[in-house]
Amino acid sequence: MNKIIKYVLHDIFRNRILLAYVVLLSLSSFGLFMMNEDVSKGLSSLLTVLLIVVPLVSILFTTIYFFNSYEFIELLVAQPLKRSNILLGVYAGVGISLLAAFWIGIGLPVIIFDGTIVGWYFLLSGSLLTMVFVSLAFLASVLTRDKTQGIGIAMLLWFYFTLVFDGILLMVMFAFSDYPLEKLTIFLSCLNPVDLARIMVLLKMDISALMGYTGAVFNQFFGSSFGIIFAMSVMLVWVAFPISIALRIFKRKNL
């Protein structure tokens, strides 16, 4: 498996799209930090990039890479290599590459300009989010043989997690606004890794706003060290769950 990771990395590090991604992230982070006089405002603008662009690029890049490597994966399957090792090898390779891109493009500027605990939470959330969407991309990829269909599924997943889920959640909140919903919301947030990542950063960033209103409940929960560990664990489940399903499918898949 290590060899496969090594060779995937060798291939991806020469990939122009990945390079473009790094440049995009760097430009937006340096740009946002330099345009805003206030560092914390730069970070909050960058949160949009973190919650929208990072998942989108992660899932699309991975899906496209998977389908472009389809024949190569076939060739690897024809070699005396275990299927699980092949898939996990490619997964780790893509994951490491995208994480590296994230840390160069966003990690570096955040550490340089911010360097506070908020910044670190920001980077931790971003890393987990990257891995979650790489996992989801593998799931989307093994579900179908057709590249267009695979990319379609990937886009739908992204759309669902960044927008549709929250929209439904807001409607549920409106519909049941007579009931105390905070605990339910905490539970529902576990169903969306993007929300979890956002909450983790937000609690460090907009702490005064969240302390008010009913935000106190979220803060009590996610602000405690138990809550943070809980949120991270759920994120890790979000990393592990799609890829393990993908693995099960891939093991029996007809290539």
Contacting residues toward other proteins, per CB under 8 A: 3-4, 7-8, 10-15, 37-38, 40-41, 44, 47-48, 51-52, 68-72, 74-82, 162-163, 166-167, 169-170, 173-174, 177, 181-182, 185, 189, 194-195, 198-199, 202, 206-216, 218, 252, 254-255
Radius of gyration of the chain from its Cα atoms, rounded to whole angstroms:
19
Angle, vertex CA 249, rays to CA 245 and CA 254, nearest 5? 165
In whole angstroms, the minimum distance from the beta carbon of 51 to other proteins comes to 6
- Count CB atoms within 10 A of the CB of residue 134: 28
C-beta of 115 vs 167, nearer to other proteins: 167
In whole angstroms, the minimum distance from the beta carbon of 26 to other proteins comes to 21
Pick from 87, 137, 132, 158: nearest CA to 233 = 132
C-beta of 10 vs 237, nearer to other proteins: 10
C-beta of 11 vs 144, nearer to other proteins: 11
In whole angstroms, the minimum distance from the beta carbon of 175 to other proteins comes to 10
Angle, vertex CA 134, rays to CA 129 and CA 139, nearest 5? 125
Element spanning 216, H or E: helix 215-223
C-beta of 112 vs 207, nearer to other proteins: 207
C-beta of 214 vs 224, nearer to other proteins: 214
CB 145 within 8 A of CB 85: no
Helix (H, G, I), strand (E, B) or coil at 176: coil
C-beta of 19 vs 112, nearer to other proteins: 19
What distance in Å separates the CA atoms of residue 240 and residue 20, rounded to the nearest whole number?
28
The single residue listed with the structure tokens 């122009």 is 16
In whole angstroms, the minimum distance from the beta carbon of 145 to other proteins comes to 10
In whole angstroms, the minimum distance from the beta carbon of 72 to other proteins comes to 6
Helix (H, G, I), strand (E, B) or coil at 14: coil
Helices vs. strands in the chain: H and E counts, helices first: 15, 0
In whole angstroms, the minimum distance from the beta carbon of 5 to other proteins comes to 12
